[in-house]
Chains A and B, each alone.
Chain A
Amino acid sequence: MAYIERNQRSGRRALLAIITGLLFLFLIYGFIRLQILERDKYTERSLNNSVRKIEKLPVRGLILDRDGDILVDNRPAFVIAVVPREITPEAIEFAARVSAVSVAEIKAKMKAEFGFHPIVIARDVTYEQVVAIEENSLDYPGLLVRVESKRYYPEEIFSPHIFGTIGEVTEAEIKENSFYQSGDLIGKNGLEKVYDTELRGEQGIQFKRVNASGKILGDFDSPLNTSGKHGSDLFLALDYDLQAFAESLFVDRLGSLVAIDPRDGSVLAMVTKPDYDPRLLAGQIRPEIWQSLLNDKTHPLYNRSIQNGYPPGSTYKIVAAIAALQEKLITPAWSATCPGYFQLGRRTIHCWNLKGHGTLDLQGAIKNSCNVYFFKLGLKIGLDTWAKYSQLFGFGSRTGIDLPNESKGLVPTREYYNRRYGVNGWTSGHLANLAIGQGELLTTPLQIAQFVTILANRGFYYSPHLTDHFYEYDPPQIIDYQTERMEVPGIDADVYEVVLEGMRQVMAGGTGRQGKVEGIEMAGKTGTAQNPHGKSHAWFMAFAPFVNPEIAIAVILENSGGGGANAAPLARKVLEKHFFGHEIIKPVFIKSGLDSLIDQAEPEAFPFPEIQPIQIVPNIGDN
């Protein structure tokens, strides 16, 4: 059909012309209706009674702990706003002087809007600034003082990494979520970000009749008026007494602690140090404070519990033990002799106990955290099986906790090593190192806590979460956090029993006995992660009681030496607080020979091969 007959075209032209004509007639009809038939109605509205939209800011929901104690509250804050349509150049200059914002900045903000919609130029201003604006309101029209709310934290509340901050929405965030309007305050981090939609509530809209100079004449009876919605209150599973106590133990230390209730996955405490005072980032933020937080070498802005990958040290021997048992590579009775060193090719690697542990079976090796035993075990297991079991227990992937920017950590696989060192560039030495939780392996404290939760439950778990429930105001109702019971597949019950018995012995006279709570049977494992930049990191993980566990805990203290001597006692105090409501004061005791040995910061690991200096892994996306 290369050429269309002309008369055919004429017919179709007439059809299209008629359709278009009808469309245009339809439009004309619409204009006649508005401009002729209903003209009076609209003229009246426009000349005398134009409609203005008044926005009523919603109250942001509170954050409370499991006892209903308020952790994050609201307080009024004054903001200075300009009305672009009314403001004069002199008033802009005056506003700039009072609010310490440059004239250019104010003009740039005004560019986004014409008209009567007030634009915030300065937030959380002082009382003196408010007075200055109000006193001169007649001379400088178009300047407004409005009241907004800002976050307020009761005196004893810290934990900034959990709560996060709120701040003015950026243009990129508006593009991403058209729900936001410029000038809105939204959650920027932590729970405030994850649950922004729930916490923020909904703006109320009221249409008011205003005259052409902007004076409000009365209500405009519009079906579009909405009363707004109070933001939902967020109740955490967190026990803030425990949290505050745990934070107090971390004074002057770097590290993290995560405590989880294994029965439902709720996070009881999550400590990250160093931190900062959340009050510094509420309301107006002083740029020099922000800069100093940003430049601080200890990275106080990062949530170490979920964003930092650390080598897990000997806590990870448990993974190797489970893999070997489940794959039937060994029986629990399989034993190895530790002369205090291990010969791998031409290298000699030392166990942390240079005198040697003698002959040990699996439980003995766990109890004494014998490196030589686990080197040998690692070589038996092989990289692929080791990586498979690591992934089964959630390492190398996010736990899915309700906080943003969680890191996946890193579980090295065959592909990873081939990519990194070349196909033949890596040796069984790497594998031996991984089996004792060293090398490229990176885990977050939360992942270790989740791991010990799984052990506590003998195989099942709930993904860790801070939220217990939301309280919605309209209509009043409680919305529970939905958890799903998950199972680590393919691990037999007797495997757990063997390994957990080893971990029980760790607490009863083994390397972790300083973490033992008097009178409560528990299981745990210490770890000392080699750090090429300084003293080793101290690890400890445990759960209690041994039967029907109700708390699982993971602690890391950066650069603090041995896990048994440093991390374990700290965890014990937190557990005592949990079980008895206070720490149990112990008499000072004279160190026995074995204790002094543990205090020597057992060099469980050794530099083979070079351990990568990954300490701070800020804000890992997909790695």
Chain B
Amino acid sequence: MASWTRLLKIDWLLLSLVTALLSFGLIAVYSATHTGEGDFSSHFSKQMSAALLGLLLMLLTARVPFRFLSGLSWIAYALSILLLILVDLFGVRGFGAERWLALGPIKIQPSEFAKISTVMAVAQYLSQRGSDIKKWKSVAIAGAILFVPFALVIKQPDLGTALVFIAVSIPMLIWAGASWFFMFVLLSPAITMLISFKLVLFVLWISLILLLTIFSTRRTWLVVAMLLLHIGVGSVTPMAWNKLHPYQQKRITTFLNPEQDPRGSGYQIIQSQVAIGSGGFWGKGFMNGTQSQLKFLPAQHTDFIFSVVAEEWGLFGVTLALILFFGLILYLLDLATDVRSSFSSFALIGLTSILIFHVFINIAMTIGFAPVTGLPLPFFSYGRSFLISIMLMMGLVMNFSANQFEL
């Protein structure tokens, strides 16, 4: 038994978790897009075919020779940067379809592909001989690898997906052994930008930075550099803000606080909360969600699919789904600890981070804990390109699992 399993390179535990999540997601898509005419909705059949294709892709990816895979990282990275640039060029000329690239009948979303290949490239770099996370140069290179796709995606503009690149970097740096102080230096400018509009807070924050820096390092130049950096960022941000047009400002404030925009996101969140809250502990039952069946919920088959789950399956279904997700994440972290190759280890951490970020932001959004960003929920949200990219990630994971003893 064990021998042909090894030969097929199938990780049964991983496959079961993925299949369970996929099935749960398909049921939700069916319910959310069901038209009441008896037959399968076209959404469901499309999603179903994507799921099957995805499973096949996952099993095939697992069989790719490991050496070949790690060697592929840079090529895949370069290719996805190229695709992102193409999308940018076509986006200007084409009719607004900036996130999509049409290859004949197939439409692909390069940003999905870019997430994966960027993680692979960073993993490849961090596992190289000679890269040392304690050295600024290595950090700068890893940062640059992440920054290029980040900037291209934010230009699309797809802020939600762009943030994935930031989110991925933190666990990967921790995994590489970056110091706490270093993480602080890296993340604090973002807080400075947010805080710079309130002078009192800003002064307090700068003093805190100063204290922390002085306690953490004896090098005077570093203290001065930190201070200058933060005062610079803090004074430029409000100036840049005032340079923006009012409608641009509105877009950003709406992003940060959707309740301000009752036309769009605010309405979505109200409806989502009503759907979830009315589900109760056991839920209203499959295809019985009044909110979702009456289509009160906008984007209920894509971004707000989890509201449908929560309404129809209740807290019970929510807990089940969260346990499945958490189980998958723990298993991936275990794998990342166990694999011998440090490339695999880093890549696993990166892929896991993508998963965690998507799951957390999307679900938090449905209950009103996070802004409406348009980040879909893995295995659940309708959307073929996204589902396929998630299955490709799982295929890579399975590959690392099958080759966990290789160096």
Contact = CB atoms under 8 A, between A and B. Distances in A.
Given A15-B174, A27-B322, A35-B310, A205 B279 contact: no
Interface in A220-271: 222, 224-226
Interface stretch (A37-45, A74-82, A296-304, A530-538): A37-45
B162 interface: no
Given A8-B177, A27-B322, A85-B295, A175 B96 contact: yes
B263 A50 contact: no
Of the four ranges (under 10, 10 to 19, 20 to 34, 35 or more), the interface on chain A belongs to 35 or more
B310 A50 contact: no
Contacts of B270: 51, 207, 222, 224
B96 A35 contact: no
A357 to B, nearest CB: 54
A51 B295 contact: no
Contact of A4 (B177, B295, B367): B177
A39 B277 contact: yes
Contacts of A197: 247
B40 interface: no
Contacts of A225: 262
A27 B364 contact: yes
Contacts of B274: 42, 45-46, 50-51
A42 B356 contact: no
Of the four ranges (under 10, 10 to 19, 20 to 34, 35 or more), the interface on chain B belongs to 35 or more
A85 B294 contact: yes
A544 B342 CA distance: 84
A197 to B, nearest CB: 8
Given A15-B174, A24-B322, A43 B333 contact: no
Interface stretch (A176-184, A569-577, A583-591): A176-184
B137 interface: no
A41 B247 CA distance: 36
A27 B266 contact: no
Contact of B277 (A6, A34, A52): A34
A35 B280 contact: yes
Contacts of B329: 17, 20
B82 interface: no
Central interface residue in B95, B97, B263, B342, by most chain A CB within 10 Å: B263
Interface stretch (B5-13, B125-133, B192-200, B223-231): B125-133
B364 A47 contact: no
Contacts of B352: 16
B337 interface: yes
Contacts of B133: 1
Interface stretch (B52-60, B104-112, B214-222, B313-321): B313-321
A599 to B, nearest CB: 51
Contact of A172 (B95, B266, B360): B95
A298 to B, nearest CB: 30
B337 A6 contact: yes
Contacts of A222: 262, 270
Nearest to B280: A39
Contact of B314 (A35, A52, A115, A175): A35
A4 B342 contact: yes
Nearest to A51: B270
Contacts of A85: 294-295
B313 to A, nearest CB: 11
B278 A46 contact: yes
A53 interface: yes
A170 B96 CA distance: 11
Interface in A528-555: none
A205 B129 contact: no
B276 A2 contact: no
B363 to A, nearest CB: 5
A212 interface: yes
B364 A30 contact: yes
A42 B315 contact: no
B146 interface: no
Interface in A307-335: none
A36 interface: yes
A538 B326 CA distance: 80
Nearest to B42: A111
Nearest to A111: B42
B330 interface: yes
Contact of B333 (A6, A16, A114, A207): A16
B119 interface: no
Nearest to B270: A51
A38 B274 CA distance: 10
Nearest to B250: A179
Contacts of A39: 277-278, 280
Given A13-B333, A31-B318, A176-B96, A42 B326 contact: no
B93 to A, nearest CB: 11
A8 B175 CA distance: 9
B389 interface: no
B96 A10 contact: no
B322 A28 contact: yes
A28 B323 CA distance: 10
Given A9-B336, A12-B175, A36-B281, A31 B310 contact: yes
A621 to B, nearest CB: 12
A224 B290 contact: no
Contacts of A38: 277
Given A2-B129, A51-B271, A41 B336 contact: no
Nearest to A115: B295
Interface in B286-315: 290-291, 294-296, 300, 310, 314-315
Contact of A9 (B128, B315, B322, B345): B345
Contact of B275 (A28, A46, A176): A46
Contacts of B280: 35-36, 39, 43
A116 interface: yes
Contacts of A421: none
23 contacts: A8-B177, A9-B337, A10-B337, A17-B330, A20-B333, A21-B326, A27-B322, A30-B367, A31-B315, A34-B276, A34-B277, A39-B280, A41-B277, A45-B274, A85-B294, A115-B294, A171-B95, A172-B95, A175-B98, A178-B251, A181-B263, A203-B263, A224-B262
Given A1-B132, A1-B133, 8 more contacts: A2-B127, A27-B364, A34-B273, A38-B277, A50-B290, A175-B97, A181-B263, A222-B270
Interface of B: 95-98, 127-129, 131-133, 171, 174-177, 247, 251, 259, 262-263, 266-267, 270-271, 273-281, 290-291, 294-296, 300, 310, 314-315, 318-319, 322, 325-326, 329-330, 333-334, 336-337, 342, 345, 349, 352, 356, 360, 363-364, 367-369
Interface of A: 1-4, 6, 8-10, 12-13, 15-17, 20-21, 23-24, 26-28, 30-32, 34-36, 38-39, 41-43, 45-47, 50-53, 85, 114-116, 171-172, 174-176, 178-179, 181, 197, 203, 205, 207, 212, 222, 224-226
